[in-house]
Amino acid sequence: MANTFSLILVLVTLFTGIIWALDKFVWVPRRQLKAAEVLQLESGEVSEEQVAQVAPQPSWIETSASVFPVIGLVLVLRSFIYEPFQIPSGSMMPTLLVGDFILVEKFAYGLKDPVFRHQLVETGEPERGDVVVFKYPPQPSIDFIKRVVGVPGDTVRYTEDKRLCIKKEGESTCEFVPVDNVHQSGFTQRGVNLIQAEEILGQEPHEILVNPYIPNQTGQYYPTPGLGEWVVPEGQYFVMGDNRDNSKDSRFWGFVPEENLVGKAVGIWISFEFDEQGDSFLPSWVPVGVRFDRIGGID
Partners of 14 in beta bridges: none
Q: What per-residue confidence (pLDDT) applies to 161? A: 93
- What is the average per-residue pLDDT within 40-55? 67
Positions annotated as catalytic residues are: 91, 146
Residue 137 CA: distances (Å) to CA of 86, 133, 242, 249, 260? 19, 12, 19, 10, 7
- What is the average per-residue pLDDT within 285-291? 85
Q: Are residues 51 and 91 in the same domain?
A: no
Q: Are residues 177 and 63 in the same domain?
A: no
How many domains does the structure of the chain reveal?
2
Q: What per-residue confidence (pLDDT) applies to 181? A: 95
Q: What per-residue confidence (pLDDT) applies to 278? A: 62
Q: Are residues 123 and 240 in the same domain?
A: yes
Q: Are residues 277 and 227 in the same domain?
A: yes
- Answer whether residue 33 shows pLDDT above 90: no
Q: Are residues 258 and 199 in the same domain?
A: yes
Q: Are residues 73 and 144 in the same domain?
A: no
Q: Report whether 44 contacts 32 (CB < 8 A).
A: yes
- Answer whether residue 2 shows pLDDT above 70: no
Strand 192-200 to 179-189 pairing: antiparallel
Q: Are residues 129 and 234 in the same domain?
A: yes
Q: What per-residue confidence (pLDDT) applies to 57? A: 84
| Residue scoring higher pLDDT (36 or 137) | 137
Q: What per-residue confidence (pLDDT) applies to 162? A: 95
Summarize pLDDT for 69-82 with one digit per residue, the tens: 999 999 999 999 99
Instruction: CATH number of the domain at 246, please.
Output: 2.10.109.10
Is residue 4 very low, low, confident or very high in pLDDT (cuts 50, 70, 90)?
A: confident
Q: What share of the chain is helix, strand, coil (3-state, %, to 5)?
A: 25, 30, 40
Summarize pLDDT for 244-272 with one digit per residue, the tens: 999 999 999 999 999 999 999 999 999 99
Q: Which of 81, 101, 120 is the last residue of a domain?
A: 81
Q: How far apart are CA 85 and CA 146, in angstroms?
A: 13
* Of the candidates 177, 179, 178, 214, the residue with the CA atom closest to the CA atom of residue 193: 214
Q: Is 84 exposed, middle or buried (0-12, 13-18, 19+ CB in 10 A)?
A: exposed
Q: Which of 46, 81, 116 is the last residue of a domain?
A: 81
If one counts every other C-beta atom within 10 angstroms of the C-beta of residue 22, the result is 14
- What is the average per-residue pLDDT within 165-181? 95
- What is the average per-residue pLDDT within 41-53? 67
Q: Are residues 100 and 187 in the same domain?
A: yes
Q: Are residues 176 and 260 in the same domain?
A: yes
Q: Which of 34, 65, 81 is the last residue of a domain?
A: 81
- What is the average per-residue pLDDT within 168-196? 93
Q: Are residues 8 and 71 in the same domain?
A: yes
**Predicted TM-score (pTM) of this structure:** 0.88
Q: How far apart are CA 104 and CA 262, in angstroms?
A: 8
Q: Are residues 15 and 135 in the same domain?
A: no
Q: Which domain holds residue 69?
A: 2-81
Q: Are residues 209 and 184 in the same domain?
A: yes
